[in-house]
Structure 1
Amino acid sequence: MSKARDNYVLDVSAVRRGYALNRLCGSLTDPENRRRFLADEAAYCDEYGLSPEQKRAILERDWTAMMELGASIFYTVKLAMVDRKSLQDLGGVFTGMSTEEFIAAMRSGGRIYG
């Protein structure tokens, strides 16, 4: 898995780079698409034309790599929900904390870094 970073910039370049990745994740709001995805994740990735790096990130659930490859958290969370992961679970991943540590940080004012 990729190392946690301080931030992920979702600029025009990242949006272009992550278009297929975000489209795939967004498609998972449809129950039939979730069923098809879970039946054969690799084939579903191929349908959306993901790059090899994006496909690997999806299949390995490398959330940090997804961000680095242009994913938007607003779409990525749709994939996380397929795995019964919350936004707080992802927040922990992105900050290098456990989910519980991340939730505690948010409850104490949201200051994660020094």
Structure 2
Amino acid sequence: MALKKDYEDIPGTFVFDADRGREGYQLNQFCISLRLQVNRDAFNADEGAYLDKYPMTADQRQAVIDRDWNRLLELGGNIYYTSKLAANDGINFQQLAGLMTGMGNEAYRAMMVAGGRSPEGNRYQSEWDDKEGDS
């Protein structure tokens, strides 16, 4: 049983720690396998058959199929490994970040060039919950 961690209260963030690493081991093994062209070719030819080689959970497998980038991280994926799947799909890291934030590529780039997201209103999940309640 994992202990509650203070950093779980950071909104929009899944910290890759030892617990998430254990949970996502097979998912990450799949993703890192895509660094080799022969594996990308096999995956692209038959995703289901290739995924069968990795005993992921049903949720992890579905997140891969759906290319649900944030869900992959929530289920133990490491961003640097899951980015191999994105790269296989022709998505670079900046584009992936734009997709994951819901901002899109250009807005995400502009935010980063301007210094990144302000910590104000982004420190605790309750701050985001309060914003949603105001809508």
What TM-score results when the alignment is normalised by the length of structure 1? Answer: 0.90
Matched letter for residue 95 of structure 2? D
Would the alpha carbon gap of residues 82 and 22 (structure 1) be closer, same or farther in structure 2, given more than 3 Å must change?
same
Is residue 33 from structure 1 mapped to residue 39 from structure 2 by the alignment? Answer: yes
CA drift of 1:109 comes to: 1.0
Give, in whole Å, the separation in 1 of the partners of 2:12 and 2:69. 14
Deviation per residue, 1:2-54 (Å, 9 max, x gap): xxx52111111100000000000000010000000001111111111111111
For structure 2, the residue ranges without an aligned partner over 5 or more in a row are: 1-10, 121-135
Would the alpha carbon gap of residues 87 and 76 (structure 1) be closer, same or farther in structure 2, given more than 3 Å must change?
same
Is residue 24 from structure 1 mapped to residue 27 from structure 2 by the alignment? Answer: no
Matched letter for residue 102 of structure 1? Y
Deviation per residue, 1:43-97 (Å, 9 max, x gap): 1111111111111000110001100000000101111000010111221223221
Give, in whole Å, the separation in 2 of the partners of 1:113 and 1:98. 20
Aligned to 1:75: 81
Matched letter for residue 50 of structure 1? M
CA RMSD of aligned residues (A): 1.3
| Match for residue 102 of structure 2 among 96, 99, 113 | 96
For these two proteins, the number of residue pairs brought into alignment is 110
For structure 1, the residue ranges without an aligned partner over 5 or more in a row are: none
Please identify the structure whose Cα radius of gyration is greater. 2
Q: Is the 8 A contact 1:21 1:54 kept in 2?
A: yes
